[in-house]
């Protein structure tokens, strides 16, 4: 009998682990309808934190920005989270006026409920917006 209880507990734990591993995706959820963005870039200058901000409204730049943030605004979550500091903050504005807030340290990005890797082209793209 004790063997059956042990097997049942192991199966419960295994099924729970599988469902947690799949929790990062939301099937059938539509990509966000982003119409504009506000980007804030923080950096050190002469020992002080400086923040520069700009607005992005053209469709091509927004499309490129979204390619660096796959799955943004779709409600996915992850248990992976680190203690990094945002170097860039992005506010994506949907057509209905709702906002999606994204932070990144140029290695990871997050909407606040899990961390996701960014590709190597993300930092040059963001820094290029400020030139």
Q: Which residue has the higher pLDDT, 65 or 7?
A: 65
pLDDT in tens, 60-72: 999 999 999 999 9
Do 74 and 37 contact (CB within 8 A), yes or no? no
pLDDT in tens, 78-91: 877 777 889 999 99
pTM of the model: 0.71
Nearest alpha-carbon partner for 62 in 28, 29, 26, 100: 100
Q: Which residue has the higher pLDDT, 97 or 11?
A: 97
pLDDT in tens, 107-120: 999 998 889 999 99
Residue 5 has pLDDT above 50, yes or no: no
Banded model confidence at residue 44, pLDDT cuts 50, 70, 90: low
Q: DSSP H helical segments within 2-115, as ranges?
A: 2-21, 59-67
Give the chain's mean pLDDT: 78
Mean local confidence (pLDDT), 98-107: 94
């Amino acid at each position: 009998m004790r063997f059956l209880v042990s097997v049942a507990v192991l199966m419960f734990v295994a099924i729970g682990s599988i469902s947690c591993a799949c929790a990062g995706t939301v099937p059938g959820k539509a990509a966000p309808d982003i119409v504009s963005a506000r980007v804030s870039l923080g950096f050190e200058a002469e020992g002080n934190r400086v923040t520069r901000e700009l607005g992005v409204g053209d469709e091509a730049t927004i499309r490129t920005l979204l390619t660096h943030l796959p799955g943004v605004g779709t409600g996915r979550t992850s248990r992976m989270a680190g203690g990094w500091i945002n170097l860039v903050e992005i506010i994506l504005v949907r057509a209905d006026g709702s906002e999606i807030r994204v932070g990144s340290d140029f290695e990871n990005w997050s909407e606040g409920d899990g961390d996701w890797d960014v590709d190597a082209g993300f930092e040059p793209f963001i820094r290029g917006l400020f030139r």
